[in-house]
Structure 1
């Protein structure tokens, strides 16, 4: 369906980081184009990859300082004599600011042979993907983004190759204006860039000169994180934080010791090392904490050996967390607190079951598989349709592989299985896992294993195909819920067909819950799998996940969040003109956020979107004391003041304005926390809130200069302090 016509805007996503100039670790070439005159473009990386200007591109004003203007003439480019770029299968990042209305290559190096070249270009081939979009290719393969670059405005483009080895085109991430792009077309091929040809800017192998202004072209010898990329996009040459952890974040280390290493931030003189087995403790640790392992100049640390952390060895089945704070006592911004990284030592027991524990499968045939326990030599599998039988079995089927086919299965059934591991020294009894076949009760909501679930949550499920009704069990102990009968306090009653929901009321914050749905067949219950979810300390106002593109059914985002369509005093547009109506790339969490386009012009001084609440309306329950929401703006936005308004069914709204008058221009997701007392002090009855609105403009009570832009909102919650 078509969305009603409205204005649109181009949003440039920029994170502003004020960092001093310094050569970035991993920055192997940097052409600022600030020279202003002459026939040489200097390389500011310190590696001396200066470029010769051929056919007289012009020095002009740029995005940052100067730039080069290319007329799109054949042979007009910048050539780096003796420098042939980043080669082989090495991870890399290539980026630049470009301003163009045409098509062609913005950078090129390597041999003109399949897999052996690297080209960044503005796509002109409608048969491959979006015309005018960013394209990266390596001869025989390509990947094309979606955003059109040919509007003759400045855009930042970046291609990031990240692979553990043997990279292919699919390992490339592309960004425009700091936002990761969706892909409009691709053709897979391997990447192994071969040298022997000078690197070119503004032209390439196939005589596709790009008519453009170009500024701040950079090459890095590693895959930048989004934070690094945003900092570089803003013009910074320095990144103060430790990066490139080894082992990689989330890695599994199959040993009882580990050598941790990292790349130093650009301003670091030394490094504070933190390591522990509790995430929160490592996050909050200081030099006075037991997790502090010392300050050192080396960029590696050993754990699991005598004389180091965990001298008796790292423990199987344990996840370890580590943090590197960069230190430079001469810099007032020091120390720079690092990101929390983690690695895990695998357990002695089998893990990672497939199907996942509690999952449903799509057929009545399945091959079970798992990851073997640390040091396992032999697997013994137990399988059946009764939990207690499988849990207590002592005679299983020995298998030398990590897979097992149980044979044909029945429909609408619940099955259980267990894998015991033997490592030559002992046997390690595995957990009992479960899965269901087609027709059985399934599709739990919240999803099995969900975290940070709102305290006010209604449970739902898909009914068993031939069951007459269902029984609900919910509790705090997994084993108790699994074994509970109708006399148990965990039994919550029976639900007839067509009412596959259960409202447990307000759940406890920061608590794990377990639940089970039994199908009733001829008066006899058949136990369902036990599912789990973790409750967070919040009440959900809107996470924007429930909206669809079915405006006929009233499920479009702009049918709940009412904007300024059809009004003369509200310049807001919620959602996009065509499906998908919600934003599905720029999100804080989940898969959707709310885009809000604002136009405070032509007599309109305010843009606002408002939602009438069904729940939660009582903003005093569960100890909540704050309203939290996440927003993201862009440097290209007009600096209209941001506000939130809440109201009762009668009386004037209460307004809270963001203290940063330029908040609409802040790139990157930003949390805004508003004490609920702010609204109560303006006369709002917090026990029965009727409406919430977000907006930009004069209603904030701040000076509103007028202008346009696009904002994104996500995860609106009530929370305790």
Structure 2
């Protein structure tokens, strides 16, 4: 049905070819900063509240992150446009950071006081169905409720669509990221009920992520929110699933095979959804991403009239067939010679044809610290019918298939060799039979977990993962003596850490302990970790317990970059943003019988108390559940860390601040607290001298300095130019100085101890800026440290002859005065 709302005609933004539906408003949330988000028409502004931010990854580009606080509000005047009396459609994407609670609000427009004057709301259901999408509307004092039955998992992008046909049905869709959405899929996913009638107007504002009068707040991300003045067709819903809500889309879309697909064939029939204005289609195809993206001559297949193209068969391009073990790239440019905007360059898509050999072998070649009860697994090669496996402890035997290394032909790509010896190297090979011949695989190797015998020296230290295992390791050793070792899951990289090695994660890897459930019940505990990240997003550092509120430990970075410690029912937060790309030591302590209150929970950043004072009476009662994880939230499979982690410790007691400072140092004999800070970029006035704090037994200090990291790391006292001096003081000025914009510079302090030993120091680094920072203005406020007072600009203060006194300079400036609404300028005063 395509009916117009007369009072919205002036807000026409763009028109669909299939049904002349009008976008009343569409928010892409691409601002990435600030506290307001404007829709594509420029007419409607959503104002964020609380800790809501616009700098998170959305379903398309950036999105809005609701911290479970105040939500966003569209101004009351603009809200008039969203009080539909006839047909309309609402579509939005959401991803929850937590399990959905009953009646969690996504969209709410109603009278300020709620009640039976509500217009409509989109939210979650209740009871056992809190993960179901619900729509409620009010008609003349009664209400109608409709509920879609598809579950909405937390941590997954979900598209919610509500279509309201005044003369027909209310239709709802719940579509997930990863669905193969086309018109037929939308139709099969639709659930409908008869429309109850027109929705009564109300005077309230449009609220996003919260109930009108507060509460029922959404904790998660939202993206691509759009309102339309017509009932979209199934085809249009499929379209906006792929186009961030826009009904107008000139590009080719919905590729088949899907982008990134694995194709088990040596030919392909490429297909796509045509752009809105296309008359013909330029197809590009090849094995080089750059060639296809740049439209290189060899990549051009031709201009096609149809929205499909066959390749890899006789009589077509690539007549000899596509090659197994190859990734192919393709692109479709939409062409209409009558339109000056033509052609419309399409995105580059890809698909891969598997190799004939086994691939995705697990453990990976060269893996170390492998569980002795490991199961071998792989993905079968292209066309494989049987998998012939060879396994043993001698490379030549496995390579030649001699001895007893042949273990048989398997139908499934998995093999369990039984319990293996500790600290031993094993070899294995998979040959794939495809019905026509045998494809011999290469020999792989792995080393099992070493024999670990570590004495318990501190009974309160119940877990200590130094993360020094290094390249190839797929497990981590517990150095506490309790034997709580862990596995490295997913993609990660061993790197140089704060102390020794560290693990770097890119959002898909984590560490999972083997049957260790963490400190349980209402027992006191402390957790410490070295971390480095520049990603501002919710990132789980350490998690254990169950999914139920109050019964789990959530130690994480929040979306504002601050540290949070909570139990799923509340939290205590830190004051400092730790997402500056520098190494930070973070410790949290939780008292016995704790609640989510700062009187029971303290947060330390780099040894300093960083706790935001707060009170929340939700108690900790941690229950044994999922294994403890580092860098990931296992209950929902999300919140993985994007950054590096080093030296993780768990204690079953509350640490004192002095103990926190000692743990932060790791080795008390090392020089520590370097200035400039490790990895920092000071200006030239603050780059020197080099300063540090001495190790606990140091009597003198050997200084190494240079611009070659490896040279500084490996140098000794005989290394000319790098070794500088032995001295008793803890400050050093390089005689050659440092350069403006120079670096990176590397330096090291070895401690000569009172017992005659030498403790080799860590390598630190810094670079020098090509500017001098006058004032970063971060310390000013509207109270006792005001800008105009510090800069002697504008108002005067004090009495003549009595310090402090300033007569004023007559500019009239009052920025920072406590009587003004803001203590900084909000516009550019003097551009340039």
Q: Could you say which TM-score interval applies, normalised by the shorter chain?
A: 0.3 to 0.5
- Output the TM-score relative to the length of structure 1: 0.45
Q: RCO (CA 8 Å, sep 6+): is it higher in 1 or 2?
A: 1
- Output the TM-score relative to the length of structure 2: 0.40
